[in-house]
A and B are shown apart, each in its own frame.
Chain A
Amino acid sequence: MAEQTGMVEKRGLGLWLTHLGLIIGVAFIFFPIWLAFVASTVENQDIIRPPMPVWPGDQFMENYGRALTAGINAPVAVMLWNSLIMAMGIALGKIAISLLSAFAIVYFRFPGRQLFFWLIFLTLMLPVEVRIVPTYEVAANFGMLNSYQGLILPLVASATATFLFRQFFMTVPDELAEAARVDGARPMRFFFDILLPMSRTNIAALFVILFIYGWNQYLWPLLITTDPEMNTIVMGIKQMFPSGDDFAHWPTIMATSILAMIPPILVVIGMQKMFIRGLVESEK
């Protein structure tokens, strides 16, 4: 397959046109990111007197340094840290509780098993966006405003992850559980020694998707964090725009935007194979 040249592949002019078309597409995709990067390396004067330059300036260190240590409402380093905790908490939390519930549903017979399964399934139909006010009230009653628990816990249930692990556990040969039982291994021993190591690739694939899901949350942190020190970076950017007619400090805002993109982009690019696998699997 690799070296075979089929008759419908283009050569010569057609090949160049294909590349040209793709390059135009890539340019369209990257143009906004490039402009944000340029804006994060120049002075505000260069931007507020349009048109802004198209090539990076020499203020990289100043702008990023100022954003990270001072920011506008809170240092961006603090917001990055909050986002990291939220994204890791959501991704690892979802994976942990979904592994356990899938294990219970697949490997045990207990009353209410079907009911629980359906309850988990139905959460698919209840995104935060449709239950905004009451969920906020619950979190407020628990005293979870401006806290990491408040950012993480209400988003940590996962029907998708539970299904994925359930599907995977179904394909694990029965002989393994049989052998474990004959050896007198307790269920949790089987879970930790056999099932968990076998689930490694699924866990990694899911992690990429869930990390990005957690990192990119906007509405929930917007409701739950009023203290700028608890803002996540993705929701904090909007808070950096002045209300009223003042000029925004674009270099700081754009440096923050770039900083907000870097961790999820690194995860996606660095774990590309896992990411694509996770994307396709979790939509099945």
Chain B
Amino acid sequence: MEKRVTFKGLWLPLLLILPQIAVTVVFFFYPAGQAIWQSLFIPDPFGLSMQWVGLGNFEYLLSDPYYRTSFVTTAVFSILVTVVSMAVALYLAVLADRLIKGSGAYRTLLIWPYAVAPAVAGVLWLFMFNTRVGVVTWYLGQLGYDWNHVLNEEEAMGLVVVASAWGRISYNFLFFLAGLQAIPKSVIEAAAIDGAHFWTRFRTIVFPLLSPTTFFLLVVNIIYAFFETFGVIHTITSGGPQQATTILVYKVYSDGFVGQDLGSSAAQSVILLVIVSILTVVQFKYIERRVHY
């Protein structure tokens, strides 16, 4: 698609696009290039010189049990966050869609968590489940359950998953509700006349018609879980206990800044770069399809 009518000029358009390109090159491409370059070296212990190791950093990483565990942790974490937040959001959207009056009021209430930063969500959930003062911890204790996410790996994972999914419900809810409202009521009523009950209608008509929304949300939520949940993990568990909640993004940070292992951190950046690229391509492929409907 191109404009028929354009303005003449060479310097003006270059000048107009310059700020964006300058920021892009200085803060995006140069650092990304640096990451790729650094991933091929290891600095000597005094940081004075760099030694070329080729793909050594990658070989080391892929044979490092901690890194492999981090991959599994990331996969488990992303799947759980995606499934939990989408399931709750779909449940709420289906209910809100059944209302003629009042769904707007629920929508206003349900979009709040979108505005809450992941790091703040982390602090809120940490407070409820704090091992010493948490309200939920205390009531669980009364029931005879000893909650301690500081020591227990499954509980730590459960807590960061719930805190991350909580913040994501609003977003998924809005897209599911929009998707549901776009389904023609006549289709559903026709099925109702044929005697299909709610669950049958949902399974055979609503859910299939909702599949473009669902697929889109799957991709977007996985990207969210991979890259935007750093704040939740940093505030609640700092990757612990025993690295049980160290997802890949957290590991780049902790190896690069806390551990100062620059070669490894750079190699991890490159691997993440490949993952984002794949996810972005998937997202855009899908969107291309949606445009052609």
Contact = CB atoms under 8 A, between A and B. Distances in A.
Interface of A: 5-10, 14-15, 18-19, 21-22, 25-26, 28-33, 35-36, 39, 47-48, 50-52, 96-98, 100-101, 103-113, 116, 119-120, 122-127, 129-139, 153-158, 162, 169-170, 174, 177-178, 181, 187-188, 190, 212, 215-219, 222-223, 234-235, 237-238, 247, 250, 253-254, 257, 260-261, 264-265, 267-269, 272, 275-276, 279-280, 283-284
Interface in B1-51: 1, 3-7, 9-10, 12-14, 16-17, 19-21, 23-32, 34-35, 38
Interface residues of B, number: 100
A177 B3 CA distance: 10
Interface residues of A: mostly helix, strand, loop or mixed?
Answer: helix
Contacts of A284: 287
Given A126-B32, A279-B171, A135 B256 contact: no
Given A7-B193, A107-B6, A268-B112, 7 more contacts: A22-B99, A25-B92, A33-B112, A103-B16, A134-B34, A234-B120, A237-B119
A24 B22 CA distance: 49
Contact of B135 (A52, A100, A113): A52
B212 interface: no
A97 to B, nearest CB: 4
B119 A234 contact: yes
A118 to B, nearest CB: 11
B276 A29 contact: no
Given A97-B23, A138-B30, A174-B5, A18 B95 contact: yes
B31 A138 contact: yes
Contacts of A103: 16
A25 B3 contact: no
Contacts of B12: 104, 108, 187-188
A32 B7 contact: no
Interface in B100-127: 100, 102, 106, 108-121, 123-125, 127
Interface stretch (B52-60, B72-80, B265-273): B265-273
Contact of A10 (B3, B34, B98, B110): B98
Contacts of B256: 132-133
B5 A235 contact: no
Contact of A35 (B16, B124, B227): B124
B269 to A, nearest CB: 5
A7 B110 contact: no
A132 B137 CA distance: 35
Contact of B98 (A18, A247, A283): A18
B27 A138 contact: yes
Contacts of A96: 19
B71 interface: no
B262 interface: yes
Contact of B108 (A97, A101, A139, A272): A272
Contact of A131 (B35, B188, B277): B35
Contact of B269 (A105, A109, A133, A218): A133
Given A104-B13, A154-B27, A268-B114, A174 B4 contact: yes
Contacts of B228: 129
A172 B201 CA distance: 42
Given A8-B188, A18-B99, A157-B24, A254 B112 contact: no
B23 A218 contact: no
B61 interface: no
Given A22-B92, A280-B178, A129 B249 contact: yes
Interface in B175-190: 175, 178, 185, 188-189
B156 interface: no
Contacts of B10: 110-111
A119 B115 contact: no
B127 A110 contact: no
Nearest to B201: A8
Contacts of A253: 123, 127
B37 to A, nearest CB: 9
A222 B128 CA distance: 24
A101 B169 CA distance: 34
Given A133-B35, A234-B119, A283-B220, A9 B257 contact: no
B127 A174 contact: no
A250 B133 contact: yes
Nearest to A176: B5
Contact of A153 (B27, B115, B201): B27
Contacts of A19: 99, 102
B88 interface: yes
B9 to A, nearest CB: 6
A135 B7 CA distance: 37
Interface string B219-233: 010000001101100
A157 B117 contact: no
A51 B91 contact: no
B205 to A, nearest CB: 11
A180 to B, nearest CB: 9
B128 A32 contact: yes
A132 B120 contact: no
A250 to B, nearest CB: 7
Given A9-B98, A234-B120, A265-B112, A51 B231 contact: no
Given A100-B16, A187-B12, A223 B257 contact: yes
